């Protein structure tokens, strides 16, 4: 089922104010697409998308000032469709009286802002894209280490939650435990968050469910994060070959986005929290151009060259 939000959610999360229609803020928004109805002002409605948030700025309102009352009222009524969620006016402009009349007839709220059209368009697009994006639920834990979102996966009972708890005690932040809802921010980035019912909560075998926010404070949690890479905890098996040099280029695909992946073997005596911290630091160092594996290869090649001369 497609996700929807209400106009009141948009109002609460962007710099908008109600001009009229406060009693109709429960109208549904079903798409993150936003229309700038310029052509519609001229009477061209062949490709009008009434289900979108309709944004009018200086261009549209200035054009409206050149139109007569009857023509403008006719256009306004055509724009106020049954599916139209809300009209937004930017740059401190005033919506023509004919539009306010048509909006009142169709019970469509009108919101306004002092921000420019470009600014409010960016704000609304960012919010709506995140809220209305298709979610994919994955079993795992999402933590924030040094500003990196690390998706920890692994078999049940391998110690994901216990490791996340130790990371929280070491000053890092929990985003989601047990289940992570993931959506695509754009063609290259994924965002993860906890389902509402599990937000700030963690399940520990033998202890039960704990509230991380109440136990460790607001600095121990985040509501969402970009996902930088996937760290998979695998039970140690002597017959399984694990990457020892860190030069593997393993990836997984989530919602069409390629995500770097590394596998960390779990064995008695290994401090997983310290290893994950080190993996995060090493990942960040590689992004900055410092690759220890490459340095090792260069040193090895240099040694081979020196020995070949002897």
308 annotated ligand-binding residue:
no
160 annotated ligand-binding residue:
yes
The tokens of 127 are what? 């919010």
| Burial class (CB within 10 angstroms; exposed 0-12, middle 13-18, buried 19+) of 110 | buried
| CA atoms of 206 and 192, how far apart (whole Å) | 27
The tokens of 78 are what? 């055509």
Catalytic residue among 3, 15, 83, 139: 139
Catalytic residue among 172, 178, 222, 232: 178
156 annotated ligand-binding residue:
yes
43 annotated ligand-binding residue:
no
143 annotated ligand-binding residue:
no
86 annotated ligand-binding residue:
no
157 annotated ligand-binding residue:
yes
Asked about 244 being catalytic, the answer comes back as yes
Rg value, the chain, Cα: 26
Asked about 178 being catalytic, the answer comes back as yes
Asked about 139 being catalytic, the answer comes back as yes
161 annotated ligand-binding residue:
yes
Catalytic residue among 52, 160, 173, 224: 160
154 annotated ligand-binding residue:
yes
Residue with tokens 């040694």: 303
Query: Residues marked as binding for Mg(2+)?
Result: 161, 203
- Binding-site annotation, residues: 154-161, 203
- Could you list the active site residues? 139, 160, 178, 244
């Amino acid at each position: 089922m497609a996700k929807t939000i209400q106009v009141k959610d948009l109002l609460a999360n962007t710099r908008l104010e109600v001009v009229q229609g406060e009693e109709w803020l429960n109208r549904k928004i079903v798409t993150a697409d936003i229309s700038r109805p310029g052509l519609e002002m001229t009477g061209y409605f062949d490709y009008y998308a009434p289900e979108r948030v309709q944004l009018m700025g200086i261009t549209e309102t200035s054009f409206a000032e050149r139109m007569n009352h009857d023509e403008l009222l006719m256009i306004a009524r055509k724009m106020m469709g049954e599916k139209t969620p809300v009209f937004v006016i930017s740059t401190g402009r005033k919506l023509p009286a004919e539009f306010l009349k048509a909006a009142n007839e169709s019970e469509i709220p009108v919101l306004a802002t002092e921000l420019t059209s470009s600014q409010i368009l960016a704000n609304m697009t960012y919010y709506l894209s995140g809220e209305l994006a298709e979610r994919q639920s994955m079993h795992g834990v999402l933590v924030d280490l040094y500003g990196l979102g690390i998706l920890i996966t692994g078999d049940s009972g391998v110690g994901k939650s216990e490791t996340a708890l130790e990371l929280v005690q070491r000053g890092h932040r929990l985003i989601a435990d047990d289940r992570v809802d993931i959506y695509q921010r754009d063609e290259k980035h994924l965002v993860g968050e906890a389902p509402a019912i599990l937000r700030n909560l963690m399940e520990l075998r033998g202890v039960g469910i704990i509230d991380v926010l109440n136990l460790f404070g607001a600095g121990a949690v985040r509501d969402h994060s970009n996902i930088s890479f996937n760290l998979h905890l695998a039970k140690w098996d002597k017959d399984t070959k694990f990457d020892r040099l860190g030069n593997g280029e393993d990836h997984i695909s989530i919602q069409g986005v390629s995500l770097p992946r590394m596998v960390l073997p779990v064995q008695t005596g290994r401090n997983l929290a310290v290893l994950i911290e080190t993996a995060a630091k090493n990942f960040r160092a590689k992004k900055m151009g410092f690759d220890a594996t490459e340095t090792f290869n260069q040193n090895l090649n240099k040694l081979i060259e020196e020995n070949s001369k002897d």
